[in-house]
Amino acid sequence: MSADRLINLLVTVTLMEMMVTVGLRVTFAEIVGTARNGRLVVRAALANYVLVPAVAIILLLLLQAHPLVAVGFLVLAVCPGAPYGPPFAGIAHGNVPAAVGLMVILAGSSAMVSPVLLLVLLPWLSDGGTVAVEPVGMVSTLLVTQLLPLLAGLLVNHWRPRVAARLLGPFETVSKILNLSAAGLILVTQFHMLTQIRLIAFGGMLALLVASLVIGWLVGGPDAEGRKTMALTTSLRNAAVGLVIVTGSFGGTPAVSAVLAYAIIAVFGSLAVALWWGRRASAPQRLRA
């Protein structure tokens, strides 16, 4: 088995396992509670499916990125719903129930929305159609690897909550092992391509991260908890979904390296912001004590 096929298989299994784990952790009540807040959902969709991809396109055109590197950035820009959203919202003293609901809604909807966005947006970056996606096949892949496992976990948690509670610990452990294995394999096989990413490209990644945080903050609503939650939900992109897309359609290209590089920057950058917000929120409590 070639390295590209092995990576694709591993990231696909990782995504499926992660989605089951998310479903085991979340209840339908949490999702419904968020979905009933129509304005919140609309703002999240606007931030994640319109504004962040638009900023990504502008940055990529300004930086004149290599078409396949641009593909990697754009793939992550249209793939929201990262599982890190709720724990990071908790660190930042944000609205964790809203973060949980938004994560599931965005992750579920991205299985259908992300391929359509890529079909529309990739021509802006691909000078004469040098890169393209097959949206029907991509939707089918994401439905099988993302939406159905998520639904399976949700149903187990709904019908057999005790079983879900027992399964959650082992599934979370396996999820960590799979994520580390996938990241390690990509780093080893793509190391040469990662070293070829230009310094200006890393500057573009930081710019996209900052823009995503600002967009989320601005559309997050009137209260600080909601703003922090939306900012972190928007800045964290779903790397597992992005890797499934690029390893399936652009395996062995700089697109894979770009996804991994930006995912690392987004996770650690968002974590730093969450920790800062958390310390600021805790400071008044320490003074009162």
Q: Which two tokens stand for residue 170?
A: 């082992």
Per-residue confidence at 277, pLDDT binned at 50, 70, 90?
very high
Predicted local distance difference test score (pLDDT) of residue 197: 72
- pLDDT tens readout for residues 237-272: 988 888 888 888 887 788 888 888 888 899 899 999
Distance CA 89, CA 271 (A): 9
Q: Phi, psi at residue 131, to the nearest 5°?
A: -130, 145
DSSP 3-state of 51 = helix
| Average pLDDT estimate for 5-26 | 86
* Residue 288 maps to a domain: no
CA distances in angstroms from 287 to 273, 278, 280, listed in the order given? 22, 15, 11
User: 134 in a domain, yes or no?
Assistant: yes
CA-closest candidate to residue 207, choices 85, 75, 92, 55:
55
Which residues have C-beta within 8 Å of that of residue 168, sequence separation ≥ 6? 21, 24, 25
Residue 268 in domain: yes
Please give the Cα distance from 273 to 208 (Å, whole number): 15
Please enumerate in sequence order all residues whose Cβ is within 8 A of that of 247, keeping only pairs 6 or more positions apart, or say none. Answer: 4, 7, 8, 11, 12, 256
Q: What is the pLDDT of residues 122-152, one digit of tens each?
A: 887 765 555 666 767 778 888 888 889 989 9
Range(s) of the domain holding residue 71:
3-279
29 vs 251, more confident: 29
pLDDT of residue 84: 85
pLDDT value at position 134? 73
Pick left, alpha or beta for residue 173 (phi over 0 → left; psi -120 to 50 → alpha; otherwise beta). Answer: alpha
Which residue in the block uniquely carries the two structure tokens 């928007």?
A: 234
- Confirm whether 208 is domain-assigned: yes
| Backbone phi, psi, residue 149, to 5° | -60, -40
User: How many domains in the chain?
Assistant: 1
Residue 173 belongs to some domain of the structure: yes
Side-chain half-sphere CA neighbours of 119 within 13 A: 11
**pTM assigned to the model:** 0.86
Cβ atoms within 10 Å of 227's Cβ, excluding its own: 20
**What CA–CA distance (Å, rounded) separates 208 from 265?**
10
Scan for tokens 């991809």, then name that residue. Answer: 53
Confidence of residue 216 (pLDDT cuts 50, 70, 90): very high
* Residue 118 falls inside a structural domain: yes
The predicted structure's pLDDT at residue 287: 46
Residue 135 resides in a domain: yes
Confidence band of 66 (pLDDT split at 50, 70, 90): confident
Separation between Cα atoms, residue 205 and residue 16, nearest integer Å? 27
Measured CA to CA, the distance from residue 74 to residue 29 in angstroms comes to: 33
Cβ atoms within 10 Å, residue 109: 18
The predicted-structure confidence for 87-122, as pLDDT tens digits, reads as follows 899 899 999 889 989 988 998 898 889 989 998 888
Residue 287 falls within a domain, yes or no? no
The dihedral built from the CA positions of residue 82, 87, 93 and 96, taken in this order, carries a sign that is positive
Rounded-to-integer distance, Cα 211 and Cα 60, Å: 13
Tokens 């319109």 correspond to what residue? 50
Q: Taking a C-beta distance cutoff of 8 angstroms, is the pair 242, 259 a contact?
A: yes
d(CA 164, CA 144): 21
Q: What is the domain-level CATH number for residue 268?
A: 1.20.1530.20
Average pLDDT over residues 193-210: 82
- Determine the Cα–Cα distance for residues 125 and 64; give it in Å rounded to an integer: 9
